[in-house]
Amino acid sequence: MTQDTRAQQLRQKSTRYLWMHNRDWIQMAEEGEPMIAVSGEGVRVTDSEGSSWIDVNGGYNSVNVGYGRTEIADAAFEQMNRVSYFPNGTTTEPTASLARKLAQITPGTLSRVFPVSGGSEANETAIKIARAYHKRRGDAGRYKIISRVGSYHGTTAGVLWLGGTPQTQRADFEPAYPGMVYAPAPLPYRSEIEGETASECAIRCASAIEDIIRLEGPDTIAAVIGEPVAVPLGAVVPSDEYWPMLRDICDRYGVLLIADEVINGFGRTGKMFAMEHWDVVPDIMTIAKGIISSYLPLAAAIATEEVAAAFAGEEDYLRHVLTSSGHPVSAAASLKNIEIIESERLVDNAARVGAYFKEQLEGMSGDHPSIGDVRGIGLLVAMELVKDRETKQTFAPEDRVADRLNESFKKRGIILRTAGPVINMGPPLCITESEVDEIIHALDLSLWELEGELGMAQYA
């Protein structure tokens, strides 16, 4: 069997039997997709036809240490040979060690770890902890959760109703989960107030949450949840006033603050955890992705000692269980993953190379009238494309910007998909400046092509 024939058979199996994330199998079959990845190293993967690609988003902003780390595979294999699971009511050495490690590296008194399988589960767990916490304290009326418009916290039944983006189609799953309340996002580029500075935007959006708490009634609000650096809107880094203000507001009204670090965490923003940029400690932090670089399923919700204390005692334990929670093989792999992040100083690399990446993107703005804004921090960066930079006018659906760009990226050897005018990028933390240059070159050519087809500019 030739390599091409095998690749074709694998694609046919996928389009016939596999229900992939947010993809239509009919369209994929017509376009000769999906690509079948067979191996990877660093920021690159090789497909079933032998072609090499740069994975600009490292999976789902999740392969933090890069592909091909055999040390992680070895750690998982060794643990499987010792004990592959655990009897009911027990735990294992790597799970206990991982909980201790997470308590050591997370900010403040965050120390009580509930392991789960993925980011959606982590945020579901955080909501359950928040609501149960208030009930334990006699505040049974506190059930509402405030999130920000444009945020994303997962797709399971509860967290699907947090935040919301144009790409989050929720009509199929109505009715909405009860108690969801929405606040504005601190995105100065798209501020509803003309001429507002980043600081003014941050203060206004934080104050809006206080207004919502007062309007809804403080005795009805359980928690506020947000990504420290919001990804769906395009790596939105709020001005420095925002998170300290929000911490103070939550404290004054007895509301728990949940930081969704599912994407932000484990070095992505140039700090081990993004909340460290503002020296703010949330009451609950959710983590996933980078905790294990997606080598196996693993995530967690971590509560402070103060929050966890409400669940101490025979009748007060958290009534919450998931089959793979605390899986020893994932725990062993995660410990090795964190060891790599620390020993290879990947957090520092994310800060340094991320600054270079953003600088190169900003440098492209002079050549490309379609670039309206460049934003981000560390290796979480984004560009927002516009039809008119002066008015910030967005492209029309008939311009097919996302489709055109996705086709163009593919021609130039990078795996990067966009569903709208915002192009998010979060490569593995081991990326080098020369590899960033390759991505920049592909983006440059793709934007020239787009702008030429839309009559926005002539080719250089």
Q: What is the 3-state secondary structure (H, E, C) of the chain?
A: CCHHHHHHHHHHHHHHHCCCCCCCHHHHHHCCCCCCEEEEEECEEEECCCCEEEECCHHHHHCCCCECCHHHHHHHHHHHHHCCCCCCCCCCHHHHHHHHHHHHHCCCCEEEEEEECCHHHHHHHHHHHHHHHHHHCCCCCCCEEEEECCCCCCCCCCHHHCCCCCCCCCHHHCCCCCCEEEECCCCHHHCCCCCCCHHHHHHHHHHHHHHHHHHHCHHHEEEEEECCCECCCCCECCCCCHHHHHHHHHHHHCCEEEEECCCCCCCCCCCCCHHHHCCCCCCEEEECHHHCCCCCCCEEEEEEHHHHHHHCCCCCCCCCCCCCCCCHHHHHHHHHHHHHHHHCCHHHHHHHHHHHHHHHHHHHCCCCCCEEEEEEECCEEEEEECCECCCCECCCHHHCHHHHHHHHHHHCCEECCCCCCEEEECCCCCCCHHHHHHHHHHHHHHHHHHHHHCCCCCCC
| Claim to verify: residue 174 and residue 302 sit in the same structural domain | yes
| Claim to verify: residue 86 and residue 235 sit in the same structural domain | yes
Which one of 297, 315, 343 terminates a domain? Answer: 343
| Claim to verify: residue 350 and residue 286 sit in the same structural domain | no
pLDDT tens for the chain, residues 1 to 460: 677 777 788 888 888 888 877 788 888 777 777 888 899 999 999 998 899 999 999 999 999 999 999 999 999 999 999 999 999 999 999 999 999 999 999 999 999 999 999 999 999 999 999 999 999 999 999 999 999 999 999 988 889 999 876 666 788 888 888 999 999 999 999 998 989 999 999 999 999 999 999 999 999 999 999 999 999 999 999 999 999 999 999 999 999 999 999 999 999 999 999 999 999 999 999 999 999 999 999 999 999 999 999 999 888 889 999 999 999 999 999 999 999 999 999 999 999 999 999 999 999 999 999 999 999 999 999 999 999 999 999 999 999 999 999 999 999 999 999 988 999 999 999 999 999 999 999 999 999 999 999 999 654 4
Residue 195 lies in a domain: yes
Which one of 323, 343, 363 terminates a domain? Answer: 343
| pTM (predicted TM-score) | 0.95
Residue 13 lies in a domain: no
| Claim to verify: residue 230 and residue 268 sit in the same structural domain | yes
| Claim to verify: residue 42 and residue 137 sit in the same structural domain | no
| Claim to verify: residue 89 and residue 61 sit in the same structural domain | no
Residue span of the structural domain in which 378 resides: 35-65+345-453
| Claim to verify: residue 310 and residue 402 sit in the same structural domain | no
Q: Structural domain tally of the chain? A: 2
Residue 83 lies in a domain: yes
| Claim to verify: residue 269 and residue 179 sit in the same structural domain | yes
Residue 21 lies in a domain: no
Which one of 316, 343, 370 terminates a domain? Answer: 343
| Claim to verify: residue 112 and residue 51 sit in the same structural domain | no
| Claim to verify: residue 104 and residue 232 sit in the same structural domain | yes
